[in-house]
């Protein structure tokens, strides 16, 4: 919201303060200011006297004669009286320059906004052979709004030579742009009056605004029938006659431009200015368009058609509130007026609505009809219904002051059946001090609240606080709210930081976080993986390519794009997509993600298990080669060994995912419990995804791992006698599992065999149905050194065992 | 007539399901759909019918034809899949073969994990629990329990992804506040980091998915002074240097009083630069004393307990620490980005 410092200064004695410096204080004490703009001289580097000099060159001027330019058809030679010793003839290209026009003249030395948007200092120019000093200017050339249409037309009588800064204080001004979000909870700050009140309190200056006195005759015109008092706590209106629609005075036009409102005509401008000043939106109806003599506030009929004044046609619902005459709605209450009741150029009689509406209802209607207006933005903040009366008088006074012959022609019709009861809060000085961690007494609290216009009575440390109506609608209702008032007024900078004193508690850490952390340390540590993150949404196309059914995924009501309408139930579609994006640049990828996947039907609360998803790719690998698979197996088993939950292992996987190779897959176990799987990407999936690289995936279920009992592997006593190693290479059919051979070898002489490991695998087209496996037997006896004879005996028994059991061939 | 169509379809279905290879299927295709096939014969027989009936029956026969075509196509795909699976099965794969160690290479933590780890460690040392809460949330925990009723304008600030089942993607980590109050005894000190979602278009500094960490402390007597001290300690631990913080009023319905915490710009030291939009300060996190209504929603008596909470943007912090220009890098899974952060897990 834009705020004019000159306009604020009308309502509080703060005009002498530095508005730029004060903006920081305001940000720290009230709400965030996005931007502070010193306006009037487009060149921000000019300061002090230089700035004042440039400003003084912009004055009101009257055109007293015009004649054609001798060289150019579109230019005129215009004589202007700008209050100088004698009039001056200048060249002007403005289409609206004419004798008698009152406009604004920028003399030599003035700074205007040049054609390129940069500041330009005016000097003498020769235009098509005619020398010219100074120029008549448009609003845009003065840096006011974006109206380039012609030179300014001054509608009110101002003496030529009057500096514009004097005629229109908002010309030379400081504008604050306050972040609207930071005013969400401050319905009182949506107008200059409320802001002035806040600034006055902050600076300990008097707040001077009083609503103007207006006399309403005792004559009824339009009656009000409120059929929905729950949605409209207060509705008032009155009639004004003798209206002449025309331009607003110059100062007001400039002020409105500064506040981000384009001036339209006096009636529209007055309602806007009243809203921007008092904070309550108003609406002016053309009296001719109101059928009958009653305004009805009612819920819309279901499907009732209504066209707002921006030309959009709506179908309303019974949740929408309308303002209607005897036959038809004339406004969507609090949101926008109707096309059918707008004021027009020939309007002479108006009915002014000033009302208060239910915040939630206005918000619902504005959201549903997609009609967010300055009016709805204010009403949805819960405005003080008492503003209704102030805003009415402010508007009436503007009309009476600026439209000669206008008069108030009816009584103030006011339906306000249940004014809210005053909000009273009881608290103590000690409570406020304790919550802030600041030494404040009840008297100091009372002083701050008093400045902010709260009613306060103290009794020792006890405080009884009556909240002013403009803070009581939503903002302030409990003692904690008063803590904030005191804190922000004192400045949080004045609170000394102090760490809390606390009792020790038993240590606890979430098992699943320990699991994740250890996995991350292993994977991103010695195992050389990159930790990645991918989105929780996934593409239908990728799901289908993976053989997954999009319909079995949780669907979004409002997806960010139509291609990604569901939540991931597996991390692999997104990770594989990442592998594809990267594979040209990164032939070998080693990535993983720790995150949640989402399972659920369309009803009930979804389960969201935490998963580790690993991918290993090698673009140059042969898809038939199993190296990647066994590299992944090695990595996963190593990572799981850090978990202290028993020995990791692999076994046959009965139910691979649709995108997994049906054979090159394995279940991963930890302490015998299934905790995940490893699989090569199915060739069909690879083809459908257009994935060039063979990829092996691994999936570990972190919650399952976290649920397993902790197993600490006990120390193994060191052997007292030296051990021996014995290697054995066997050629077995490919259908024989290495683990079975190892187990058989271990069983040959279990009392002396400590461990059997397979340390080499060799396959060759020379023996296509067989595979060469090399085992190392770690042998030792508890009580003595092994003898060579024992070794020979063991070897022979081992050879015969594998020959018998596995049809193995053993090289001699 | 229509009976014979039904019969034909049933017969075809049985035969197609029974076909065991591509050749058998091709024969069936000829037998039913070929020039001399049964469907074709049925079509020819329509000539005997009255024009009216010919029309309806013609449509029925054509529908049957399409159905049979589809059955054959589905069966063919299935057989091909099975054939592929059989091929794949015949490789003599032995999953018990020993693992092969990967060549040594430097692994990396994700930058968000690095930052989260620093925050978690700092808080663990202060005696805080590190908790983890769901990303799909209910409207109750994400809004209502946090004192943000329906139609509250604060819901605007948090454009929400809604699920068709009525749940939503949490718009902040704050739902964990009430969940933690339900789950753990008082006094309570906890943080909960995680992924959050906002329904908005992505650009250099906006993402629909980003990371936050929520902090919550509930005890008998806590003050704004304590909150400032904790935040200062935290930020100094993360940034490894002295930081100057300031609080200013900020509106969040779940805290009262509520603040925005700014830090003195580290890029320019407060003199003003593009990072701080020439203000000398950078807005870092919202925080405040927990609103009594939120305590009540968590079953905590606000007469006896007081809490404070904060929500810190981890993505934001990582961007500041590493001067990352585009927030979208975080979710891009691009190794060139992911390799750049070597200090993961460093203590
Ligand atoms: Zn800076």
Cross-chain Cβ contact A504/B224 below 8 Å: no
B338 touches chain A (CB under 8 A): yes
Whether the predicted pLDDT of A624 surpasses 90: no
**Torsion sign (Cα): A44, A48, A49, A52:** positive
Distance from CA of B198 to the nearest CA of A (A): 10
Chain B environment of A605 (Cβ under 8 Å): 136, 138, 167
| DSSP, res A522 | H
> B347 pLDDT exceeds 60?
no
Chain A residue with CA closest to B262: the answer is A28
Contact B336 A585 (CB under 8 A): yes
pLDDT of B267 reads: 82
Contact B98 A582 (CB under 8 A): no
CB A277 within 8 A of CB A375: no
The per-residue pLDDT for range A201-245, each reduced to its tens digit, is 999 999 999 999 999 999 999 999 999 999 999 999 999 999 999
Q: What is the DSSP string of B46-99?
A: GGGS-HHHHHHHHHHHHHHHHHHHHHHHHHHHHHHHHHHHHHHHTT---TTSPP
Residue B55: pLDDT band (50, 70, 90) is: confident
Q: Is the CB of A532 inside 8 Å of chain B's CB atoms?
A: yes
Per CB-CB distance under 8 Å, the chain B contacts of A651 are 95
Q: Is B277 left (phi over 0), alpha (psi -120 to 50) or beta?
A: left
A627 touches B: beta carbon within 8 Å: yes
Q: Is residue A602 over pLDDT 70?
A: no
Tens-digit pLDDT profile for residues A472-485: 998 899 999 999 99
Interchain contact, B95 vs A633, CB within 8 Å: yes
Comparing CB atoms, the residue among B89, B162, B229 nearest residue A663 is: B89
Query: Of A508, A513, A637, which has the smallest distance from its Cβ to B132's Cβ?
Result: A513
d(Cα A409, Cα A438) in Å, to the nearest integer? 56
CA of B282 to the centre of ligand 1 (A): 8
DSSP string, A141-198: GGTSTT--SSS----S---TT-BHHHH-TTTSEEEEEE-GGGGTT-GGGSSHHHHHHH
Residue closest to A267 by CA, chosen among A325, A350, A193, A377: A350
Residue B91: pLDDT band by 50, 70, 90 thresholds? low
Ligand 1 centroid–CA A170 distance in Å is: 31
Q: Where do the H-state alpha helices sit in B240-334?
A: 292-297, 314-322
pLDDT on residue B1 = 64
With CA atoms as reference, report the closest residue to B222 among B244, B255, B251.
B255
Secondary structure class of A508 (helix, strand, coil): coil
pLDDT of residue B205 exceeding 80, the answer is no
**Is residue B293 a contact partner of residue B147, using CB atoms and an 8 Å limit?**
yes
SS (H, E, C) A132-156: EECEECCCHHHCCCCCCCCCCCCCC
What pLDDT is attached to residue B76? 83
Among A230-234, A466-470, A565-569, B250-254, which stretch is predicted with the lowest mean pLDDT? B250-254
For residue A171, cis peptide bond before it (omega within 30 degrees of 0): no
A576 with A614: CB under 8 angstroms? Answer: no
**pLDDT for the residue numbered A295:** 95
Pure H helices in chain B: 2-18, 22-33, 38-45, 51-89, 111-125, 139-142, 175-183, 224-239, 292-297, 314-322, 335-338
Sign of the CA dihedral with A529 first, then A531, A537, and A541 last: negative
Comparing A165 with B23, the larger pLDDT belongs to A165
On whether any CB of chain A is under 8 Å from the CB of B256, the answer is: yes
From chain A residues 692-751, the ones with a CB under 8 A of any chain B CB are: 734-740
pLDDT of residue A445: 96
**Distance of alpha carbon B38 from alpha carbon B33, whole angstroms:** 7
Among A379-383, A631-635, B11-15, the minimum mean pLDDT is found in B11-15
As a whole number of angstroms, the distance between CA A763 and CA B92 comes to: 11
Give CA–CA dist A758/A147, Å, rounded: 85
User: According to the model, what pLDDT value does residue A432 have?
Assistant: 96
User: Which residues in A lie closer than 8 A to residue B199 (C-beta atoms)?
Assistant: 558, 560
**Through-space distance between the first and last CA atoms of chain B, rounded to whole angstroms:** 83
Instruction: Quote the CA–CA distance of A97 and A136 in Å, as a whole number.
Output: 8
CA A455 and chain centroid, separation: 37
- Quick one: which H or E segment has residue A664? strand A660-670
Q: Residue A772 class from Cβ within 10 Å (0-12 exposed, 13-18 middle, 19+ buried)?
A: middle
Instruction: Scan residues 46-75 of B and list those with Cβ closer than 8 Å to A.
Output: none
Which of B46-60, B281-295, B315-329 is modeled with the greatest confidence? B281-295
For chains A and B, what is the number of CB pairs under 8 angstroms?
A: 316
- Among A589, A591, A631, A580, smallest CA distance to A613 is for A591
**B14 and A CB contact within 8 Å:** no
Q: Could you write out the DSSP letters of every residue in A684-746?
A: HHHHHHT--S-EEEEEEEHHHHHHSPPBPPPP-PPPSS--EEEEEEEEEETTS-HHHHHHHHH
Amino acid A510: pLDDT = 93
- Beta-bridged to residue A681, according to DSSP, are A660
Q: Where are the beta strands (DSSP E) in A171-287?
A: 173-178, 223-226, 234-241, 282-286
Read off the pLDDT of each residue in A640-647 and give the average, rounded to a whole number. 94
Alpha carbon distances (Å) from A772 to A623, A732, A755? 21, 6, 20
* Ligand 1 center to B266 CA (angstroms): 7
Q: Which residues, 6 or more positions from A614, have their beta carbon under 8 angstroms from its beta carbon?
A: A523, A529, A591, A592, A632, A635, A636, A697, A698, A699, A700
| Record: contact A360-B129, CB cut-off 8 A | no
Confidence of residue A114 (pLDDT cuts 50, 70, 90): confident
A758 interfacial to chain B (CB closer than 8 Å): yes
**What three-state secondary structure class fits A286?**
strand
Chain B environment of A183 (Cβ under 8 Å):
251
Mean pLDDT across the stretch A143-157? Answer: 89
Any CB–CB contact under 8 A between B102 and chain A? yes
Report the share of chain A in percent with pLDDT over 70: 100
Contacts of B243 in chain A (CB under 8 A): none
Q: How many whole angstroms separate alpha carbon A783 and alpha carbon A763?
A: 40
Between A43-47, B127-131, B266-270, B342-346, the lowest mean confidence (pLDDT) is in B342-346
Q: A379-390, pLDDT tens digit by residue?
A: 999 999 999 999
pLDDT at A718: 84
Q: Which residue has the tokens 């593009």?
A: B274
Q: How far apart are CA A428 and CA A446, in angstroms?
A: 10
How far, in Å, from the CA of B272 to the mean position of ligand 1? Answer: 4
Tokens, residue A622: 């042969």
* Binary contact (B257, A363; C-beta < 8 A): no
Whether chain A has a CB inside 8 Å of the CB on B23: the answer is no
Tell if the CB–CB gap between B226 and A499 is shorter than 8 Å. yes
Give the model's pLDDT for residue B41: 80
Q: Give the span between the Cα atoms of A102 and A80, in whole angstroms.
A: 9
Answer whether residue B82 shows pLDDT above 90.
no
Instruction: Name the 3-class secondary structure at B187.
Output: coil
pLDDT at B311 over 90: yes
Contact A27 B94 (CB under 8 A): no
How sure is the predictor about B325, in pLDDT bands with cuts at 50, 70 and 90?
confident
Confidence of residue B71 (pLDDT cuts 50, 70, 90): confident
Confidence of residue B157 (pLDDT cuts 50, 70, 90): low
d(CA B267, ligand 1 centre) in Å: 5
pLDDT band at B275 (very low <50, low <70, confident <90, very high): confident
Q: How far apart are CA B187 and CA A504, in angstroms?
A: 10
What residues sit around ligand 1, an ion, with C-beta below 5 angstroms?
A: B 265, 267-268, 273, 275-276
Subunit contact B335:A493, Cβ cutoff 8 A: no
Of B100, B169, B217, the CB nearest to A634: B100
Q: At what angle do helices B111-125 and B314-322 cross, to 10 degrees?
A: 110
508-527 of A, contacting B, C-beta below 8 A: 508-510, 512-513, 520-521, 523-527
Which three-class secondary structure state does DSSP give residue A530?
A: strand
The pLDDT assigned to B194 comes to: 96
Q: What is the pLDDT confidence band of residue B158, given thresholds at 50, 70 and 90?
A: low
- Asked if A520 and A594 count as a contact pair (C-beta separation under 8 A), the reply is yes
Q: How many CA atoms lie within 13 A of A424 on its CB side?
A: 7
Q: Is the pLDDT of residue A629 over 90?
A: yes
How many Å apart are CA B121 and CA B346, to the nearest integer? Answer: 11
**What pLDDT does B89 receive?**
67
- End-to-end CA distance of chain A: give it in Å, rounded: 92
CA gap B100, A625 in Å, rounded? 13
Q: Model confidence at B247, in pLDDT bands (50, 70, 90)?
A: very high
Q: Give the one of B91, B208, B338 whose C-beta lies nearest to A530's C-beta.
A: B338
> Taking CB atoms and an 8 Å cutoff, what residues of chain A touch B232?
497
- By Cβ distance, the residue of A500, A530, A557 closest to B226 is A500
Cβ neighbours for B324, distance < 8 A, ≥ 6 positions apart: B111, B318, B330
Burial of residue A157, with CB atoms counted within 10 A of its CB: 0-12 exposed, 13-18 middle, 19 or more buried: exposed
Could you report the per-residue pLDDT of A747-804, keeping only the tens digit for each? Answer: 999 999 999 999 999 988 898 889 999 999 999 988 889 899 989 999 999 999 999 9
B334 touches chain A (CB under 8 A): yes
How far apart CA A681 and CA A662 sit, in angstroms, is 9
Residue B136: count other Cβ atoms within 10 Å of its Cβ.
24
Chain A stretch 92-151, residues whose beta carbon is closer than 8 A to a beta carbon of chain B: none
CA distances from B298 to B132, B289, B314 (A): 17, 15, 25
Write the CB contacts of B40 (distance below 8 Å, at least 6 apart in sequence): B33, B34
Cα–ligand 1 centroid distance for A468 (angstroms): 40
Contact A484 B257 (CB under 8 A): yes
Strands B245-249 and B255-264 turn out to be antiparallel
Q: B169 touching A, CB under 8 A?
A: yes
Residues of A in contact with B336 (CB under 8 A): 585-586
Tell me the pTM: 0.86
Specify the pLDDT at position B6.
83
Q: Supply the DSSP string of B122-150, one letter for each residue.
A: HHHHTT-EE----SEE-HHHHTGGGT--T
Q: What's the Cα-to-Cα distance from A229 to each of A232, A238, A388, A433, rounded to whole Å?
A: 5, 19, 15, 41
Per DSSP bridges, beta strands A223-226 and A294-299 are parallel
Token pair belonging to A330: 């004339």
Q: How far does the centroid of ligand 1 lie from the alpha carbon of residue B265, in Å?
A: 5
Is residue B157 less than 8 Å (CB to CB) from chain A?
yes
Residue with the bigger pLDDT between A158 and B40: it is A158
How far B41 CA lies from chain A's nearest CA (Å)?
38
**Nearest-by-Cβ selection for B99 from A525, A532, A634:** A634
| pLDDT range class, residue B156, cuts 50, 70, 90 | low
How many Å lie between the centroid of ligand 1 and the Cα of residue B192?
30
Sign of CA dihedral A123, A126, A132, A136: negative
Residue A307 φ then ψ, to 5°: -110, 120
Residue from the list A510, A528, A532 with its beta carbon closest to the beta carbon of B106: A528
Q: Do B165 and A604 touch (CB under 8 A)?
A: yes
pLDDT averaged over every residue in chain A: 93
In whole angstroms, give the CA distance from residue B274 to residue B268: 9
């Amino acid at each position: 919201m834009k705020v004019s410092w000159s306009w604020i200064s009308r309502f509080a004695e703060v005009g002498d303060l530095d508005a730029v410096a004060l903006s920081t204080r305001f940000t720290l004490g009230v709400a965030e200011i996005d931007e502070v703009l010193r306006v009037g001289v487009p060149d921000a580097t000019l300061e002090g006297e230089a700035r004042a000099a440039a400003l003084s060159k912009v004055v009101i001027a009257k055109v007293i004669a015009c004649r054609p330019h001798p060289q150019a058809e579109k230019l005129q030679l215009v004589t202007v009286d700008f209050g100088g010793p004698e009039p001056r003839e200048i060249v002007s290209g403005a289409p609206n320059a004419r004798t008698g026009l009152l406009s604004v003249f920028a003399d030599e030395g003035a700074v205007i906004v040049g054609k390129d948007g940069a500041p330009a200092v005016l000097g003498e120019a020769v235009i098509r052979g005619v020398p010219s000093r100074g120029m008549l200017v448009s609003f845009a050339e003065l840096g006011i709004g974006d109206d380039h249409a012609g030179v300014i037309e001054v509608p009110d009588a101002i003496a030529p030579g009057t500096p514009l800064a004097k005629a229109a204080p908002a010309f030379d001004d400081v504008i604050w742009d306050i972040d609207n979000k930071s005013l969400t909870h401050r319905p009182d700050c949506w107008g200059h009056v409320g802001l002035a009140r806040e600034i006055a309190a902050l600076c300990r200056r008097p707040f001077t605004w009083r609503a103007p006195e207006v006399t309403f005759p005792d004559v009824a015109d339009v009656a009000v029938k409120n059929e929905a008092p729950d949605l409209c706590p207060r509705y008032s209106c009155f009639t004004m006659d003798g209206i002449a629609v025309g331009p607003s005075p110059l100062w007001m036009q400039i002020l409105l431009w500064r506040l981000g409102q384009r001036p339209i005509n006096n009636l529209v401008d007055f309602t806007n200015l009243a809203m921007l000043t008092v904070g309550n939106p108003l609406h002016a109806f053309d009296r001719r368009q109101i059928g009958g003599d009653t305004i009805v506030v009612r819920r819309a009929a279901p499907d009732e058609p209504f066209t707002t004044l921006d030309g959009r046609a709506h179908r309303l619902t019974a949740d929408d509130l309308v303002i209607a005459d005897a036959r038809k709605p004339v406004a969507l209450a609090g949101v926008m007026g109707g096309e059918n009741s707008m004021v027009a150029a020939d309007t002479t009689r108006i009915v002014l609505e000033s009302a208060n509406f239910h915040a939630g209802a206005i918000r619902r209607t504005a959201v549903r009809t997609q009609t967010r207006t300055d009016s709805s933005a204010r009403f949805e903040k819960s405005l003080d219904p008492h503003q209704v009366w102030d805003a009415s008088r402010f508007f009436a006074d503007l009309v009476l002051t600026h439209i000669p012959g206008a008069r108030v022609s009816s009584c103030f019709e006011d339906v306000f059946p249940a004014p809210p009861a005053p909000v009273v809060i009881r608290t103590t000085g000690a409570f406020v001090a304790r919550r802030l961690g600041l030494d404040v007494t009840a008297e100091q609290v009372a002083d701050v609240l008093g400045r902010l216009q709260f009613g306060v009575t103290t009794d020792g440390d006890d405080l009884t606080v009556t909240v002013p109506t403009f803070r009581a609608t939503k903002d302030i209702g409990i003692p904690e709210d008063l803590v904030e008032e005191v804190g922000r007024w004192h400045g949080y900078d004045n609170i000394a930081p102090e760490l809390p004193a606390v009792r020790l508690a038993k240590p606890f850490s979430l098992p699943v976080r320990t699991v994740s952390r250890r996995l991350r340390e292993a994977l991103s540590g010695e195992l050389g993986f990159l930790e990645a993150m991918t989105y929780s949404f996934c593409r239908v196309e990728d799901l289908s390519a993976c053989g997954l059914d999009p319909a079995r995924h949780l669907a979004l009501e409002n997806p960010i794009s139509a291609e990604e309408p569901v939540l991931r139930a597996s991390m692999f579609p997104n990770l594989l997509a990442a592998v594809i994006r990267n594979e040209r640049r990164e032939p070998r990828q080693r990535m993983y993600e720790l995150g949640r996947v989402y399972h659920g039907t369309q009803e009930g609360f979804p389960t969201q298990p935490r998963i580790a998803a690993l991918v290993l790719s090698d673009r140059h690998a042969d898809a038939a080669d199993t190296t990647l698979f066994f590299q992944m197996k090695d990595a996963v088993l190593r990572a799981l060994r850090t978990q202290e939950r028993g020995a990791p292992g692999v076994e046959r996987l009965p139910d691979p995912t649709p995108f997994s190779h049906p054979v090159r897959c394995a279940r991963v176990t930890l302490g015998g419990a299934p905790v995940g799987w490893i699989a090569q990407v199915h060739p069909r999936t690879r083809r459908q995804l257009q994935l060039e690289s063979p990829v092996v995936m691994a999936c570990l279920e972190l919650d399952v791992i976290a649920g397993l009992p902790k197993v600490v592997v006990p120390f193994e006593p060191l052997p007292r006698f030296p051990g021996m190693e014995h290697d054995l290479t066997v050629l077995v059919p490919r259908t024989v599992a290495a683990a079975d051979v190892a187990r058989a070898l271990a069983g040959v002489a279990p009392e002396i065999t400590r461990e059997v490991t397979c340390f080499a695998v060799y396959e060759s087209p020379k023996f296509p149905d067989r595979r060469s496996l090399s085992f190392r037997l770690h042998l030792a006896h508890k009580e003595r050194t092994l003898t060579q004879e024992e070794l020979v005996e063991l070897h022979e028994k081992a050879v015969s065992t594998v020959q018998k059991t596995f049809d193995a061939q053993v090289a001699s | 007539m229509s009976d014979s169509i039904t019969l034909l379809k049933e017969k075809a279905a049985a035969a197609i399901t029974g076909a065991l290879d591509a050749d058998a299927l091709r024969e069936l295709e000829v037998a039913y759909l070929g020039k001399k096939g049964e469907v074709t014969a049925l079509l020819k027989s329509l000539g005997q019918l009255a024009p009216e009936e010919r029309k309806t029956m013609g449509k029925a026969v054509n529908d049957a034809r399409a159905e049979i075509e589809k059955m054959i196509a589905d069966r063919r795909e299935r057989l091909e899949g099975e054939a592929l699976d059989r091929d794949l099965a015949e490789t003599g794969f032995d999953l018990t073969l020993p693992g092969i160690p990967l060549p040594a290479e430097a692994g990396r933590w994700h930058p968000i994990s690095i930052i989260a780890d620093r925050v978690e460690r700092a808080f663990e040392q202060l005696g805080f629990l590190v908790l983890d809460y769901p990303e799909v949330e209910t409207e109750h925990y994400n809004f209502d329990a946090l004192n943000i009723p329906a139609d509250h304008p604060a819901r605007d600030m948090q454009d929400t992804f809604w699920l068709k089942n009525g749940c939503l993607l949490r718009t902040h980590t704050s739902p964990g506040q009430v969940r933690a109050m339900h789950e753990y005894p008082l006094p309570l000190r906890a943080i909960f980091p995680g992924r959050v979602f906002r329904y908005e278009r992505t650009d250099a500094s906006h993402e629909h998915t980003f990371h936050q960490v929520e902090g919550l402390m509930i005890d008998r007597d806590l003050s704004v002074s304590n909150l400032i001290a904790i935040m200062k300690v935290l930020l100094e631990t993360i940034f490894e240097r002295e930081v100057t913080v300031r609080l200013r009023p900020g509106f969040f319905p779940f805290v009262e009083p509520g603040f925005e915490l700014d830090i003195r710009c580290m890029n320019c030291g407060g003199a003003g630069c593009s990072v701080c939009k020439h203000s000398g300060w950078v807005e870092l996190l919202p925080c405040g004393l927990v609103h009594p209504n939120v305590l009540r929603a968590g079953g905590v008596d606000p007469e006896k307990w007081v809490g404070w909470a904060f929500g810190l943007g981890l993505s934001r912090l990582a961007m500041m620490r590493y001067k990352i220009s585009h927030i979208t890098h975080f979710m891009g899974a691009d190794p060139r980005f992911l390799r750049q952060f070597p200090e993961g897990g460093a203590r």
